[in-house]
Amino acid sequence: MRRTTSPVPLVVLGIGTFLLVLAAMLAWYVEPRAQRTPIDTDATTVFTGQGSYFDSRKVKTVEGEKLTVTRKVRGDVADSEESGRAIWDVSTSIDTDDTLPASDPHDSFQWTVERWVTDRRTNTPVHCCQESPRFEGEAYLKFPFNVEKRAYRWWDSTLGATVELAFQSRKKIQGHEGYLFTGTVDPVRTGTRQVPGVLVGQPERGQVLAEEWYANDGIELVADQKTGRILFAAIGPRKTLRAPGATSAENEVVLLASDRIAFTEETQKQQVELARADNRKLDLVGVTAPVGAGGLGLGLAVAGAVMVFRGRPGGTAPAPAQAPAPESFAT
């Protein structure tokens, strides 16, 4: 007689095979596509530090004052979905104690508005969708996913160009480890501004087109390795005015300067928590779920195959042959 196979082993084998395929898809297809820059971001980061700034009311540079930089980033969801890009509107204000709290950013010491458009997968700039300014590089408000131990070109809006940041080491921020990158900007002319000549050591001239100069003594960024989110940032900006054609900084006027303006502790904690949440999501899709599905699928597939091969336990099977009973003889 022929052995029969119950549907149960086939079902077990099918489920196991499905889970194995699902595990492979999660690891090699879904997880890489989950690494996309979010379009619905709504975040505020705050830098603080001591520094100097030019007080227009006192017509002089005031030193040793607290400076606060507030950056608000909001994703333009509608335009991002339509374009397939990540479009972020960025508002950055610089305040002194005299301008804080500023209910309107127009009341700040300095206020700028930008619109950043990037490829959601590679983080490279995409020049469309009313981008302003036109920027280049690899790292801006975030690094690309899966940050490497190499130099990155970081866009400096004040400079209007990229700055090479070198990888230094691993560094923990609020207990979460990231990659530390550093760089500097040597003094460079960035534009001109019309000011009274007396400000730049030329009192004999009424108005002059003074040269705007910019330098940054210390750029320090710590990025989460998997997501590229910036966990910590510190800068040492110096913006000055020089007389037209000046060959040195002898008579320059400091507009804004600080040895170090850095993320507040609250901002650090906020960025670390966001990075950890993003890491958990990516680990779930790329590690936990594939490993769990793969392990369970392998076990079910093996069990189902064995059951199919052997036949369902307790199923109908050929009965064992029995020896014929001895004949009875009447006496």
For residue 165, the model assigns a pLDDT of 98
Averaged confidence pLDDT in the chain: 81
> What contacts 50, CB < 8 A, 6 or more positions away?
64, 65, 66, 67, 258, 259
- Specify the higher pLDDT residue, 35 or 70: 70
DSSP per-residue string spanning 60-122: EEEEEEEEEEEEEEEE-HHHHHHHTSEEEEEEEEEE-TTT-S-SSGGGSSEEEEEEEEE-TTT
pLDDT (tens digit, 9 = 90+) per residue, 76-119?
999 988 888 999 999 999 998 888 876 677 778 889 999 999 99
> What contacts 242, CB < 8 A, 6 or more positions away?
200, 210, 211, 213, 249, 251, 252, 253
Number of neighbours of residue 79 by Cβ within 10 angstroms: 17
The residue among 108, 216, 209 whose CA lies nearest residue 157 is 216
CA 233 to mean position of chain CA atoms: 13
Q: Give the Cα separation of 180 and 222 in Å (integer).
A: 4
CA 100 to mean position of chain CA atoms: 29
Q: Which of 4-18, 22-36, 189-203 has the highest mean pLDDT?
A: 189-203
pLDDT > 70 in the chain, percent: 74
Q: Half-sphere exposure of 138 toward its Cβ, with a 13 Å CA cutoff?
A: 17
Band of residue 60 on the pLDDT scale cut at 50, 70, 90: confident
Band of residue 323 on the pLDDT scale cut at 50, 70, 90: very low
Q: Give the Cα separation of 20 and 290 in Å (integer).
A: 8
Q: Whole-prediction pTM value? A: 0.77
CA 164-165-169 angle, to 5 degrees, is 155
Least confident of 162-166, 210-214, 326-330: 326-330
For residue 248, the model assigns a pLDDT of 78
Least confident of 38-47, 55-64, 65-74, 103-112: 103-112
- Specify the higher pLDDT residue, 71 or 104: 71
pLDDT > 90 in the chain, percent: 53
Distances (CA, A) of 204 to 195, 196, 316: 13, 10, 113
pLDDT (tens digit, 9 = 90+) per residue, 236-275?
999 999 988 887 777 789 999 999 999 999 999 999 999 9
- Kindly report the length of the chain: 331
State whether residue 204 is helix, strand or coil.
Answer: coil
Distances (CA, A) of 268 to 47, 105, 155, 273, 274: 10, 23, 21, 9, 10
